[in-house]
A = this chain, B = another copy of it.
Amino acid sequence: MTPQTRIETALDIALIRSRAGSCPPKLASALEYAVKPGGARIRPTICLNVARACGDDAPGLTDAACAAIELIHCGSLVHDDLPAFDNADVRRGKPTVHKAWSEPLAVLTGDTLIIMAFEQIALAARSDALRAATLTLELARYSGMPHGICAGQAWESEAQVDLSAYHRAKTGALFTAATRMGAAAAGADPEAWTELGARIGEAFQVADDLRDALYDEETLGKPAGQDVVNARPNAVSELGVQGAIKRLDDILSGAISSIPSCPGEAALCEMVRKTAERLTPVIPNLASVRTA
């Protein structure tokens, strides 16, 4: 089974379970709408590749970890798009959940996706319950408080922002969770995999800043120029376009050299290189770059 098929299958199983018996049909459909067809599935792909590099000896736990990370990610997107946050109308090229369904259903979709994420791990616990507990702790650590994506989003409500904590939590946390949980699912020590995740997360942030500054709404599949509109810190305003691209290269080289020695090391380096290619934006007409 290809990595992509494994990830989609794990997500499909979670969605099918959420629809069993007499359940409110709109929420069931909104859950599916929020998860499928999805974006690049970059976080679970990283998780799966690290698990494989570490031997992937409990594939059910690996699949659960991948699904859990993606479900939490999709849930956070649904809540981030709400009128109280980004008030976004479009996500992945289609109306956001609160636009397509309603604001109550969007809140409930996010809540339910968080719950489903933890549920997937527990469902796979039979093969190794201690590993499942470790995965649960990792997922909670990188999604909740004090340092997960909820904390990251909450920094935007503060007058005094700890910028490094903000970036690490808001974008970096789920990438760090991806490498650590991939290792933990395969019984390896998550600690050795923290730096790889953190660096991919940093790279992703810089790439996202570049895309936000360089691309239009049609290419992005969501509103463009939001960092300037919302006065958010952005690598392009700070370093310029070429400086940001140089920074992206440096981070990805660092990511590759951080990969611990393991049976699947070569394949993993290849994955980071491919991720880098996917992340680095094709530069359009520089005259339209937003750097205000």
Q: Which residue of B lies closest to A120 (CB)?
A: B140
Stretch from A37-45, A129-137, A187-195, A234-242 forming part of the interface with B: A129-137
Q: Which residues of chain A in 14-39 are interfacial with respect to chain B, using CB atoms and an 8 Å cutoff?
A: 18-28, 31
Q: Mark A244-274, 1 if CB is under 8 A from B, else 0.
A: 0000000000000000000000000000000
Q: Which residues of B contact A151 (CB under 8 A)?
A: 23-24, 27, 112
Cβ–Cβ < 8 Å partners of A22 in chain B:
146, 162, 165
* B interface footprint on A88-117 (CB within 8 Å = 1, 0 otherwise): 000000000000011111011011101110
Contact yes or no, B31 A158, CB < 8 A: no
Query: Is the pair A119, B105 in contact by a Cβ cutoff of 8 Å?
Result: no
Is A114's CB under 8 angstroms from B114's CB? yes
> Shortest distance in angstroms between A115's beta carbon and chain B's nearest beta carbon?
4
A111 to chain B, nearest CB (A): 5
Q: Determine if B145 and A116 form an interchain contact, defined as CB atoms under 8 angstroms apart.
A: yes
A interface, CB within 8 angstroms of B = 18-28, 31, 75, 79, 82, 84-85, 101-105, 107-108, 110-112, 114-116, 118-119, 121-123, 125-126, 129-130, 132-134, 136-137, 139-141, 143-148, 150-151, 153-158, 162, 165
- Other A-B pairs, 13, CB within 8 Å; known A26-B157, A122-B136: A18-B144, A22-B162, A25-B158, A27-B154, A28-B146, A84-B102, A101-B157, A104-B156, A112-B145, A112-B150, A118-B136, A129-B130, A129-B132
